[in-house]
Amino acid sequence: MRESLIVGAGGAVGAVLRYLAGKIPIGSFPVKTFLVNLSGCFLIGW
């Protein structure tokens, strides 16, 4: 159950970061999503 909550919290944080990245008026949307996903992968690996 604990793992499910951790995964859910990570998904929620990722969704909020993708939303906020979409509000930044630089580049195209896929680039911003890629950067958010890359930073999430870095944090998971760390």
Q: What is the pTM of this model?
A: 0.59
Structurally, how many domains does the chain consist of? 1
Residue with tokens 């990722």, as numbered in its chain: 14
Structure confidence at residue 17 (pLDDT): 81
User: What domain range is 13 assigned to?
Assistant: 2-45
Q: What DSSP string runs through 13-43?
A: HHHHHHHHHHHS-SS-HHHHHHHHHHHHHHH
Structure confidence at residue 37 (pLDDT): 82
pLDDT in tens, 4-38: 999 899 889 888 887 887 787 776 667 777 887 88
